[in-house]
Amino acid sequence: MSASIASPSPSVFSQFYALTKPRVVQLIVFCALIGMVLAVPGVPTLADVRLGLIACAGIWLVAGAAAAFNCIVEKGIDAKMKRTAWRATAKGELGDAQTLLFSAVLCVAGSVVLYVWVNPLTMWLTFATFVGYAVIYTVILKPLTPQNIVIGGASGAMPPVLGWAAMTGDVGPQALILFLIIFLWTPPHFWALALYRVEDYRKSGLPMLPVTHGNAFTRLQVLLYTLILFAACLLPFIYGMNSWFYLVAAVLLNAGFVYYAWRLWRNYSDELARQTFRFSLIHLSLLFAALLVDHYLY
């Protein structure tokens, strides 16, 4: 008699945790942390470190709330797409009411942390980011226009601004430069993913650019955006925020991104689109790491 061993079902805690999209939130908090560090001249004091950690916690909670809310709105779409069909909301393992309550608790908790222990400006900017992503992008823009990721990218570009506001109580031009970099990085990053996931997006009914305008047009847009991004990534050096170490890193990383985009434009393959998508993640992570290292080198 043969017995099959069933794999254990994930716990409710792990299901809720997965709805917060931990890897995405980690990148959000990392970019916010860079904004915090760059806002503080020299070595941060113990008070600065404490404030930064509290701000990171508050931003993580609100970002996780937005991700969970997104899973409720898109559960039908998620169920049709291979890369998201595993989510507990898509499979019907978590109901709308309990997921909405979970999202609301995270959002309220994060907002209270930011308002009470950081400053009201950071709380309102973070809450506006929640509304921008969870409502304006997810509910309105994403199902209506192939430019969804361009316009909605403003929400994803906010983390360094949130970090800067947490430490200074205002939003300076340096924070806006960091915002611009992520804003311009977002379209080629997501369109590279959409190129090799185009059938998923077609089945879901979402008007992503490769679905509405085709593969060749999307590849050209990826290349053009990487060229514009290259120029934007030079602004921290031009403005005087950073020095030569950052400049060298920015030139190398952006040259790599342009190279991937150029190859993708010239000779498409799904594997190359995957490589371009993966490199875009490496690009942003190392670019902001270079900002951090350069801040303490000079």
Please check the confidence at residue 133 and state whether its pLDDT lies above 70: yes
- Averaged pLDDT for residues 153-172: 92
Write down the pLDDT at residue 138: 77
pLDDT in tens, 149-161: 887 788 889 999 9
pLDDT in tens, 9-63: 567 778 888 888 888 888 889 889 999 999 998 888 999 999 999 999 999 999 9
Dist CA 84 CA 90 (whole Å) = 8
Structure tokens at 244: 């030569």
User: Residue 84: which pLDDT band, with cuts at 50, 70 and 90?
Assistant: confident
- Averaged pLDDT for residues 253-281: 97
- Averaged pLDDT for residues 122-144: 86
Structure tokens at 207: 């008007």
Q: Burial letters for 260-273: b for 16+ Cβ neighbours within 10 Å, e otherwise?
A: bbebbbeebeeebb
More reliable by pLDDT, 75 or 199: 199
Which of 268, 187, 277 is closest to 232 using CA atoms?
187
Write down the pLDDT at residue 5: 43
Instruction: Quickly name the fold that domain 11-170 has.
Output: Tetracycline Repressor; domain 2 (1.10.357)
Picking from 44-53, 195-204, 248-257, which range would have the lowest pLDDT averaged per residue? 195-204
Dist CA 269 CA 3 (whole Å) = 43
The residue ranges of every structural domain in the chain are: 11-170, 172-298
Round the CA-based radius of gyration of the chain to a whole number and report it: 20
Picking from 79-93, 103-117, 198-212, which range would have the lowest pLDDT averaged per residue? 79-93
Picking from 24-38, 58-72, 85-99, 167-181, which range would have the lowest pLDDT averaged per residue? 85-99
Q: Which of 76-90, 136-150, 153-167, 259-273 has the highest mean pLDDT?
A: 259-273
Neighbours of 259 (CB within 10 A): 13
Write down the pLDDT at residue 2: 41
Crossing angle (nearest 10°) for helices 96-117 and 46-73: 160
Residue-averaged pLDDT of the chain: 89
Which of 106, 127, 126, 138 is closest to 16 using CA atoms?
106
Write down the pLDDT at residue 203: 83
- Averaged pLDDT for residues 166-171: 95
More reliable by pLDDT, 200 or 93: 200
Q: How many CA atoms lie within 13 A of 147 on its CB side?
A: 2
- Averaged pLDDT for residues 233-238: 96
User: Residue 8: which pLDDT band, with cuts at 50, 70 and 90?
Assistant: low
Neighbours of 44 (CB within 10 A): 16
